[in-house]
Amino acid sequence: MTDAPARSDDTIVFDVDGMTCAACALRIERVLGKQEGVASAIVNYAGHEAKVVAAPGIDVASLEAAVARIGYGINPVAPDEERTSPVERYSAEARYQARNVLAAAALAIPVFLLAMFGTESTTNKVWQWILATPIEFVFGWQFHRVALKQLRSLGTSMDTLISVGTLAAYGYSVWAVFAAEAVFFDTAAVIITLILLGRFFEARAKQQASNAIARLLELGAKEARVRRNGTTTMIPIEDVVPGDLLVVLPGEKIPADGKIIDGSSDVDESMLTGESRPVSRTPGDDVFGATVNQHAPLTIEATRTGTDTALAQIVRLVEDAQATKAPVQRLADRVSAIFVPAVLAVALATLLIWLAVSGEISTALRNAVAVLIIACPCA
């Protein structure tokens, strides 16, 4: 059994593994929200994080097991636990998808050219088969793996549609090679390549958004000059506590939020307010961490440190904005949850109707595959 981590205000934070689309986040939210003792659950797809507000003493292992049953993984994060930064995670994801899309494109372009400008000979079709196979089962395996997980829990996601659509095109084409029919290897190869390109753009966009938060955090001071018991020493910013007297020289960043005890100076608060001109501050005035002292030494009594500073609150608001869904986004999540089953049902109905009308399995298969292929890029 996993021990419940320390939590604040009955909120447990989890790292989430296996999400590939908004529908995945919605499914995890629903499952967590239905567990006994859970008041609410918010899953941030962009940050691969879940925040669960639960009753004190809830069995965290039961939450992990519930999510595992639908094909995902969650791991509780202690407040002081060191985690891989989103910037690092999305940088690695962007590099991984860039390698995938470049390798897939190197094979997909020849398949496309053979399909568009080649002959209808068996040799041409076999070459398309050979080139499309690694695209489908090596570079496209990330879609099939998720689809298999969803299948075990009788669920679907956008990866299900991508997997079924491209496998249908690929499988039909293999049959068509022996039946002397038209093949669609290029369709499966190009769709997987384009969706991999989309995954690369998505990871890069998340990396850039995470970079913005990281740059906010970097604005703060790393050390503070603290006067304790008549002695002034430099200490790490993490060791500053409310009530400490901070000595800030001209040109230095103010380490924490506080009140000026001694000295008068101009303070550059542009990082906080956007005001380009320094503001005059005198004894009794409030000042904020990460702003810059301009002209004269200041002695400041720290009032808010660490996660309580104005800068930390701004970062927290940005992170909460990522996790919070707008009403239109919640509507899109609900639509995506039924989109895949609806497409699969339409494709099956198309197969049965054309089989009944034409009596030809090849015609019925082509039309059913067409429905899947047309819907597949919608993912």
pLDDT in tens, 221-266: 888 899 888 888 888 888 888 888 999 999 888 888 999 998 999 9
With a CB cutoff of 8 Å and minimum separation 6, the contacts of 11 are 51, 52, 53, 54
Instruction: Write out the two tokens for 211.
Output: 């970079």
> What percentage of the chain exceeds 90 in pLDDT?
25
In a 13 Å sphere around the CA of 248, the CA atoms on its Cβ side amount to 35
Max CA-CA distance within the chain? 96
| pLDDT tens-digit map of 256-286 | 899 999 899 999 888 778 777 888 999 999 9
Helices (H) and strands (E) in the chain, counts: 11, 13
The per-residue pLDDT of the chain, averaged, comes to 84
Q: Is the dihedral of CA 78, 80, 84, 85 positive or negative?
A: positive
Highest mean pLDDT among 119-133, 219-233, 349-363: 119-133
User: How far is 377 from 235, CA to CA, in rounded Å?
Assistant: 55
Amino acid symbol at 91? S
Average the pLDDT over each of 7-11, 62-66, 90-94, 334-338 and give the range with the smallest value: 7-11
Confidence band (pLDDT; 50, 70, 90) for 151? Answer: confident
Amino acid symbol at 312? A
Closest CA to 240 of 257, 252, 253: 257
Question: Is residue 8 pLDDT above 60, yes or no?
Answer: no
| pLDDT tens-digit map of 31-73 | 898 888 888 888 877 778 888 888 887 888 889 998 888 888 8
What is the bridge-based pairing of β-strands 286-287 and 292-293? Answer: unpaired
Mean pLDDT confidence for 348-368: 89
